[in-house]
C-alpha cells in the first residue's frame, strides 16, 4: 500500500522553542505529570467523520478538500478502504492511539439496510486487520441516527414505530462493530431527538421511548460482551431547535429518572456546552460531581457565532480548566476525541496534521498548567477555606444533617445581624491562574 500523506513525517516532540510546524511543542507522550505519562492522561482519538469525511462543504459551497485518498470514486467501498488506509497512516504518524466512528462514516449507506450491514462487516474486518500489529484501538462507536431522511422526526423520539425499529437496527449493528473492534464506549448523540414545535410533540411519550431504546441497547450490548460505558453526548440545539439532552445536568436527570445511570456516563463536548450557555468547565464539573464524567469531545466554538463550529481547540485557558476538572476527577474512563475539523480554507493534507498538532499541544499545555495549578495549591486552598464556617459549630451540624429549622433560626436570632461571608476574591484568583499559566 502506498503512502497517502507523502512528505509528512512521523510527528515528534521537539519542545517549545521549535519552529518546525510538523512537530509537537508541548505534547511529549512519555513525560510524566502527576505520576502518569502524558499519553495516559490524554488518550487522544481521531473522529472518522471530520478527519476522513468532512471536506470543507458548507451551506454555501461544495468541497474544498480532496478526501478521496486515491480512490477513483467517492462513496464506494474502494473509498471506504482508502479512508481506513489514510486513517491508520494518519494516526500512526501522529501517535494517536484511538479512533471514533459512526456506522455511516465507515461505509456508504445503501438503500437496503442489509446491504449496509454487509458493508460494515467487510470494512470492520479490514479495520481489524489494520489494527493488528499497531497499538491503535477504538475509543467509541455510534450510529448516525440523524442524517438519513427517515430520522427527520427523530430516531428514538420518532412518531413512527418503523423508524424506531430502524434506529434499533442501526444501534444493534453499531454495537456489534464496536465490540468487534474492542471499543471502550458507545455514544448516543441525539441530534434529532428533540422538537421543532411543541404543537406536534408529546414530550413525555418521546422521552419514554428514547429511554426504552437506550435500555434495549444496554441489554443487547451486555449480552454480546460489551463491558464499556454507554455515553450520552449532551447538546442543546442544532440540528433541532430544542434537543432533549440539553446539557449535562439535564442528561443526568434523564438517566436517573429512567434507571440508566449505572450503565451510562457523559461524553462532554466543549462546543456543545457553550451552545447551552455554559462554559466547557461547567459541564465537566457537573458531570464529575455526579460521577458521570466519562469522555470528552475535544473542540471549541467561536464566541462570535451561535452554532457548532467544531474548531480544533486552541484556547489554553479552556484546556487548562478542562484538565483541572479531569485531574481533580481522577481521569476519564474514555478519552479525548477531536470532534474538530479544519476550517474550509485550510484545505491541504498538511492542514489536517496542523489541526491535530494544535489540538494535542493545546491539551498537553492544559495538562501541564492544570497540574501546576493543583501543585500551586492556592485555588484549592481558597475554595476549602471559603467554606470553613461549616467545619465547626452550627455549620458542622448543618453538614451532618443533625439540626432543625428552629435551631438554625435561633442561631440567626442570637447573631441579630448577618455575619460577613467574606470576599469571593475572583480577581485575585484569576490573577493566580494567569501567573501559573504564563510563568
Ligand atoms: C454533533 C456531534 C457528533 C457526535 C457523535 O454535534 O458532536 O458528531 O459527537 O454523533
Ligand atoms: Co461530538
**CA of 123: how far to CAs of 104, 221, 334, in Å?**
11, 21, 24
C-alpha cell at 65: 478538500
Do 29 and 13 form a contact (C-beta atoms < 8 A)? yes
**Residue pLDDT, tens place only, 417-432:** 887 999 999 999 999 9
Closest ligand 1 atom to residue 102 Cα is 10
C-alpha of 236 from chain center = 15
CA distance 48 to 338: 10
DSSP symbols for 2-26: --SSTT----EE--TT---TTEESS
Q: Is the sign of the CA dihedral 288, 242, 298, 266 positive or negative?
A: positive
Residue recorded with cell 414545535: 197
Give residue 377's pLDDT.
98
Residue 185 CA, ligand 2 centroid: distance in Å: 14
The C-alpha atoms of residue 124 and residue 102 are separated, in whole angstroms, by 12
- 374 close to 137: Cβ distance less than 8 angstroms: no
Asked if residues 139 and 99 have their Cβ atoms less than 8 Å apart, the reply is yes
Q: Is 103 a catalytic residue?
A: no
pLDDT tier at 388 (50, 70, 90 boundaries)? very high
CB 335 within 8 A of CB 353: no
**Ligand 1 touching residue 142 (CB < 6 A):** yes
Beta-carbon contacts of residue 265 (< 8 Å; ≥ 6 apart): 229, 230, 231, 287, 292, 293, 294, 295, 333, 334
Q: From CA 192, how far away is CA 208, in angstroms rounded?
A: 15
pLDDT digits (tens, 9 = 90+) for 156-200: 999 999 999 999 999 999 999 999 999 999 999 999 999 999 999
Question: How confident is the model at residue 418, as a pLDDT?
Answer: 80
Query: What's the whole-number mean pLDDT along residues 325-349?
Result: 98
Q: What is this structure's pTM?
A: 0.98
Mean pLDDT to the nearest integer, 122-150: 98
Centre of ligand 1 to C-alpha 144, Å, is 9
CA of 233 to the centre of ligand 1 (A): 8
The predicted model gives 395-414 an average pLDDT of 98
Mean of pLDDT over the chain: 98
Amino acid at each position: 500500500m502506498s503512502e497517502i500523506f507523502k512528505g509528512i513525517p512521523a510527528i515528534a516532540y521537539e519542545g517549545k522553542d521549535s519552529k518546525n510546524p510538523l512537530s509537537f511543542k508541548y505534547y511529549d507522550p512519555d513525560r510524566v505529570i502527576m505520576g502518569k505519562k502524558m499519553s495516559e492522561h490524554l488518550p487522544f482519538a481521531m473522529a472518522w467523520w471530520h478527519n476522513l469525511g468532512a471536506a470543507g462543504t458548507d451551506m454555501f459551497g461544495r468541497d474544498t478538500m480532496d478526501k478521496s485518498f486515491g480512490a477513483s470514486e467517492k462513496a464506494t467501498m474502494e473509498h471506504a478502504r482508502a479512508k481506513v488506509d489514510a486513517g491508520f497512516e494518519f494516526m500512526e504518524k501522529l501517535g494517536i492511539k484511538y479512533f471514533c466512528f459512526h456506522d455511516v462514516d465507515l461505509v456508504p449507506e445503501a438503500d437496503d439496510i442489509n446491504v449496509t450491514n454487509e458493508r460494515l462487516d467487510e470494512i470492520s474486518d479490514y479495520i481489524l486487520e489494520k489494527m493488528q500489529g499497531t497499538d491503535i484501538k477504538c475509543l467509541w462507536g455510534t450510529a448516525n441516527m440523524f442524517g438519513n431522511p427517515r430520522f427527520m422526526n427523530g430516531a428514538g423520539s420518532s412518531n413512527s414505530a418503523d423508524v424506531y425499529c430502524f434506529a434499533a437496527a442501526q444501534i444493534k449493528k453499531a454495537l456489534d462493530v464496536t465490540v468487534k473492534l474492542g471499543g471502550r464506549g458507545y455514544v448516543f448523540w441525539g441530534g434529532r431527538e428533540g422538537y421543532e414545535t411543541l404543537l406536534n410533540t408529546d414530550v413525555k411519550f418521546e422521552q419514554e421511548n428514547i429511554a426504552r431504546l437506550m435500555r434495549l441497547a444496554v441489554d443487547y450490548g451486555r449480552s454480546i460482551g460489551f463491558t464499556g460505558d454507554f455515553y450520552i453526548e449532551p447538546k442543546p440545539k442544532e440540528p433541532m431547535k430544542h434537543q432533549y439532552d440539553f446539557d449535562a445536568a439535564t442528561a443526568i436527570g434523564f438517566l436517573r429518572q429512567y434507571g440508566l445511570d449505572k450503565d451510562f456516563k457523559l461524553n462532554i463536548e466543549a462546543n456543545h456546552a457553550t451552545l447551552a450557555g455554559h462554559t466547557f468547565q461547567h459541564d465537566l464539573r457537573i458531570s464529575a460531581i455526579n460521577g458521570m464524567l466519562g469522555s470528552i469531545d475535544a473542540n471549541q466554538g467561536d464566541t462570535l457565532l451561535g452554532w457548532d463550529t467544531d474548531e480544533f481547540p486552541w484556547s489554553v485557558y479552556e484546556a487548562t480548566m478542562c484538565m483541572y476538572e479531569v485531574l481533580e476527577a481522577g481521569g476519564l474512563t474514555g478519552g479525548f476525541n477531536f470532534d474538530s475539523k479544519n476550517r474550509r480554507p485550510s484545505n491541504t493534507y498538511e492542514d489536517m496534521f496542523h489541526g491535530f498538532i494544535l489540538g494535542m499541544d493545546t491539551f498537553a499545555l492544559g495538562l501541564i498548567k492544570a497540574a501546576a495549578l493543583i501543585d500551586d495549591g492556592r485555588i484549592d486552598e481558597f475554595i476549602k477555606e471559603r467554606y470553613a464556617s461549616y467545619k465547626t459549630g452550627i455549620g458542622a451540624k448543618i453538614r451532618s444533617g443533625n439540626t432543625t429549622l428552629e435551631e438554625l433560626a435561633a442561631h440567626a436570632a442570637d447573631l441579630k445581624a448577618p455575619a460577613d461571608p467574606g470576599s469571593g476574591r475572583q480577581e485575585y484568583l484569576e490573577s493566580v491562574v494567569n501567573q501559573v499559566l504564563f510563568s
